[in-house]
């Protein structure tokens, strides 16, 4: 969470931290060899998703949407954080299609805001 917040939606925030590969650099260093690909992590607190099945469904959506993101995420460490819960009255089932579609749509918006298409300004 030491990285900056690069994108937010109603329920999610995306944090990014650029990793330095060299041992002589001043910035944060990775514990493992840095490859030319982005790293993605998911932080789904029990506070906002009480049931494990809900947390796992959201986590799977995060990984699937990040893998298919167009344009792809830049090479860095990324963490998607659930920052508020989905209304249980609106989404009664933890694995309902309605919840999956809502989560997927919001995650696509989150990644689109973080990686604007070439020729387009961020936040526009």
Residues 84-103 pLDDT 10s:
999 888 888 878 899 999 99
Q: Which residue has the higher pLDDT, 90 or 58?
A: 58
Write down the pTM of the prediction.
0.79
pLDDT of residue 23: 57
User: Taking the C-alpha atoms of 43, 5, 101 and 10 in order, what is their torsion angle to the nearest 10 degrees?
Assistant: 110
CA dihedral for 70, 71, 72, 77, sign (positive or negative) = negative
The three-state secondary structure class of 29 is strand
Q: Are 81 and 13 in contact (CB under 8 A)?
A: yes
Say which residue the tokens 């989404």 belong to. 91
Q: Quickly state the pLDDT bin for 25 (edges 50, 70, 90).
A: low
Residue 27 has pLDDT above 90, yes or no: no
Q: For 43-47, what is the mean pLDDT?
A: 95
pLDDT at 120: 47
Q: Which CATH architecture has domain 4-19+33-114?
A: 2-Layer Sandwich (3.30)
Domain boundaries, the chain: 4-19+33-114
């Amino acid at each position: 969470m030491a990285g900056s917040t690069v994108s937010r939606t109603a329920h999610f925030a995306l944090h990014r931290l650029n990793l330095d590969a060299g041992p002589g650099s001043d910035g944060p260093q990775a514990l493992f060899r840095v490859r030319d690909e982005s790293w993605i992590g998911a932080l789904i607190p029990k506070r906002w998703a009480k049931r494990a099945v809900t947390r796992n469904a959201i986590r799977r959506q995060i990984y699937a949407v990040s893998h298919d993101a167009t344009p792809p995420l830049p090479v860095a460490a990324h963490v998607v954080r659930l920052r508020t819960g989905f209304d249980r009255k609106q989404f009664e089932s933890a694995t309902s299609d309605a919840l999956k579609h809502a989560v997927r749509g919001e995650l696509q918006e989150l990644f689109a805001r973080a990686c604007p298409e070439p020729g387009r300004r961020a936040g526009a």
